[in-house]
Amino acid sequence: MASVHNARRSFMKMLFTAMAVALPTATAFAAEPIPADLRETALGTFKALPSTTPAVANNPITPEKIALGKALFFDPRVSASGVLSCNSCHNLATGGDDNLETSIGHGWQKGPRNAPTVLNAVFNIAQFWDGRAEDLKAQAKGPVQAGVEMANTPDQVIATLKSMPQYVDWFDAAFPGAADRVTFDNLAKAVEAFEATLVTPAPFDAFLNGDDAAMASEQKQGLALFMEKGCSSCHAGINVGGEAYYAFGIVEKPSAEVRPEKDKGRFAVTNSADDSYVFRVAPLRNVALTAPYFHSGKVWDLKQAVAIMGTTQLGEELKAEEVDLLVAFLNSLTGKVPEVVLPILPAETATTPRPVSQILGK
């Protein structure tokens, strides 16, 4: 009996010893200490959002211009069909995008790429995935004229707006110094002025500004890991991305579904072989609200998107615990969307062009 008892004691001792050794290994990652200089280190890479509407180049922002831009942003009559507005693809109620793989445009056509969020877009180095629009003014003109989107023409848009006296008054108030106030350029400037107000301060900004309690412990651990792993080499600056161009598949080529072979990204803009499969780095603010992910819109789960970025951009298969912490940090980028009251739009008149089903734009 004594030998059996001793054997049991030996076995239990070995079991508890093994558990004691294994437990730190299993929990060490979760218990990773938060660096004391985390905020200082982060401020070397990121920047908090401003507390006021940012200025934009060559377009002084005024309340009248913002009000006009908001009306134009929500007005479907800017499209040839009278069905689609800017808000159709950049829905302010759903993260500033449409939560579709690729957007649906004129005549139920399917667009080629996933719609980026309009929230905080004013801070991007350029607009669209390939950066073909230098600013929000240029971006505002593109979808209006694209046959797969609004399918309209500048002349038709201006004829529509001029047919409604209330719009003429609003343009007069927004551009008092201009000789010809109701123009396609001024439409774009007004939309840009409104979109510049769509800034979403988040817990991450409060942390950068000195509030230690703004982010949970796992979010801070995720921030530290985000910088340690090198994610912040591309996703940096005020928009946590949107400031540079990089190849999608730096280390490992993504699957053909996630990165379609026919879409070579910025190559279509520059015609340079070096820009093949190069895209503007996605800004990560409010990323938890903007599924599906990537320019193809083929990935619906944020954890899966993070894991794909690990293998394709970092050349590393991230552990599940690491993915969880990185996603926790990304959740701290979800901000407060400004309250937007839907505008009451001017009524059509007898001279307002009627909606059409054909494509008017190029």
Q: Strands 245-247, 278-280: parallel, antiparallel or unpaired by DSSP?
A: antiparallel
User: Is the predicted pLDDT of residue 338 greater than 60, yes or no?
Assistant: yes
- Rounded to whole angstroms, the Cα distance separating 286 from 288 reads 5
Give pLDDT, residue 26. Answer: 38
Q: What is the mean pLDDT of residues 139-157?
A: 97
> What is the per-residue pLDDT across 91-115, written as a single tens digit (0 to 9) for each?
999 999 999 999 999 999 999 999 9
pLDDT at 349 over 70: yes
pLDDT bracket for residue 358 (50, 70, 90) = very high
Task: Report pLDDT for 12.
Answer: 40
Q: DSSP letter string over 226-262?
A: HHHHTGGGTS-BTTTS-S-EEETTSSSPPPTTTS-TT
Catalytic residue numbers read: 149
Per DSSP, helices labelled H in the chain are 2-27, 38-43, 63-74, 86-89, 136-145, 154-162, 165-174, 184-195, 203-208, 217-229, 267-270, 302-309, 320-331
- For the chain, what percent of residues have pLDDT higher than 70? 91
3-state class (DSSP) for residue 219: helix
What does the pLDDT look like over 306-330, one tens digit per residue?
999 999 999 999 999 999 999 999 9
127 DSSP assignment: B
**pLDDT value for 178:** 83
Q: Which of 182, 223, 154, 175 is nearest to 62 (CA)?
A: 175
Which pLDDT value is given to residue 3? 44
Report the first-to-last Cα separation within the chain, whole angstroms. 93
Give pLDDT tens digits for 45-85. 999 999 999 999 999 999 999 999 999 999 999 999 999 99
Closest listed residue to residue 150, CA positions, set 109, 188, 118: 109
Output the pLDDT for position 177: 86
pLDDT at 303: 98
